[in-house]
Amino acid sequence: MDLNTLREAAIEATSRALYDRHGFVPSDETDEWEEEYRRQFTALKQKHGGAAAVPVRAPALPAIDERMLPELSGTPEQKRWGAAVRSERLAAIPNEPFRVFLAKTWTRSKVWIDTRDVPLPTLVQRLKPQYDEYRAKTNEAAKARAAEAQRQAAERAARQRKLQEAGITPEGLVEMVDASDRFAPAPLAAKLAEIDVEGRNLRVYDTADPNLLLVKEKRGPLHLDDYAIERDEGLVGDLKMYTALA
């Protein structure tokens, strides 16, 4: 094997080994790249001697579910061609985060078609700065979502504590409604609260009559009932607090 052929084979083997290890290829100016190159050069020289080196491609990963990928832009012909190239490319990438990055950011058929002959390790190395930026933004977004979820959970817990301290529960509110005398329905006004408990849904409204509240009750899918109860300011206050904090 001549020296130039040996060097080219060692470079490709180095890129493939580093890509399989990290999901990208470090710069050829790094110590890691140089160390791996020397290892591959020595191994190929010992293995092949004067024979021509034939690079061995890693087996492709299972095909990607096309239904989970964004639609590509372009002409119908470009879309068909781009989708075929994309499917083949993604199936050959072992790094799942990088696959997700490429699928989400490369949505133009043309970019897949134009880079179809670029060796995959080379393509990964070219895209590493964009990939690093994408991962950083993704991580920041995930942290922001987690912080927001924690904030909302803390707010819900604080509201529940206030309701507990006030002794207000859905069951207690329904008991107060059930204990009230019932009257003929009156024209409804503003909604005060909606309560769900034990298969019952109660919507309680102010009415045009300052002495009455209207209750629209649903039990199961068919049973509906509208009735008025005497307006009690203590109940109204509890209903408003429940609506605000539940």
Encode pLDDT of 172-228 as tens digits: 999 999 999 999 999 999 999 999 998 899 999 999 999 999 999 998 877 889 999
**Among 126, 143, 160, where does a domain finish?**
143
What pLDDT score does 178 carry?
Answer: 94
Cβ neighbours around 174 below 10 Å, total: 18
| Residue 38 and residue 70 share a domain | no
| Residue 128 and residue 101 share a domain | yes
Q: Is residue 60 part of a domain?
A: no
| Predicted confidence band of residue 93 (pLDDT cuts 50, 70, 90) | confident
Mean pLDDT, the chain, whole residue set: 86
Tell me the mean pLDDT in the region 95-106.
Answer: 89
**Among 127, 143, 159, where does a domain finish?**
143
> Is the pLDDT score of 48 beyond 80?
no
> Is the pLDDT score of 137 beyond 60?
yes
Q: Match 């890129």 to its residue by tokens.
A: 15
Q: Is residue 108 part of a domain?
A: yes
Q: Is residue 57 part of a domain?
A: no
Q: Is residue 56 part of a domain?
A: no
Tell me the mean pLDDT in the region 155-162.
Answer: 92
Tell me the mean pLDDT in the region 85-93.
Answer: 89
Q: Is residue 160 part of a domain?
A: no
Q: Is residue 114 part of a domain?
A: yes
Our measurement of the distance from residue 49's CA atom to the centroid of its chain's CA atoms, rounded to an integer in Å, reads 51
Please give the residue range of the domain that contains residue 79: 66-143
Domain count along the chain: 3
Instruction: Collect all residues with Cβ–Cβ distance below 8 Å to 143 and sequence separation of at least 6.
Output: none
Q: Is residue 55 part of a domain?
A: no
Mean pLDDT comparison of 22-26, 44-48, 168-172, highest-scoring range: 168-172
| Residue 240 and residue 190 share a domain | yes
Encode pLDDT of 125-135 as tens digits: 889 899 999 98
Kindly list the strands in the beta sheet with 200-207, ordered across the sheet, starting from the edge strand earlier in the chain.
182-183, 223-230, 212-219, 200-207, 188-197
Q: What percent of the chain has pLDDT over 70?
A: 89
| Residue 40 and residue 90 share a domain | no
Tell me if 245 sits within 8 A of 159, measured CB to CB.
yes
| Predicted confidence band of residue 57 (pLDDT cuts 50, 70, 90) | very low
Biggest distance spanned by C-alpha atoms of the chain: 104
What is the helix (H) or strand (E) element at residue 93, kind and residue range? none
Q: What are the helix (H) ranges across 92-183?
A: 96-105, 109-114, 120-166, 170-178
> Is the pLDDT score of 54 beyond 80?
no
Instruction: Collect all residues with Cβ–Cβ distance below 8 Å to 207 and sequence separation of at least 6.
Output: 186, 187, 188, 189, 213, 214, 228
| Residue 43 and residue 73 share a domain | no
| Residue 230 and residue 191 share a domain | yes
| Residue 136 and residue 77 share a domain | yes
> Is the pLDDT score of 240 beyond 50?
yes
Please indicate whether residue 65 or residue 170 has the higher confidence score (pLDDT). 170
Q: Is residue 161 part of a domain?
A: no
| Predicted confidence band of residue 65 (pLDDT cuts 50, 70, 90) | low
| Residue 30 and residue 85 share a domain | no
| Residue 84 and residue 130 share a domain | yes
| Residue 44 and residue 72 share a domain | no
| Residue 231 and residue 182 share a domain | yes
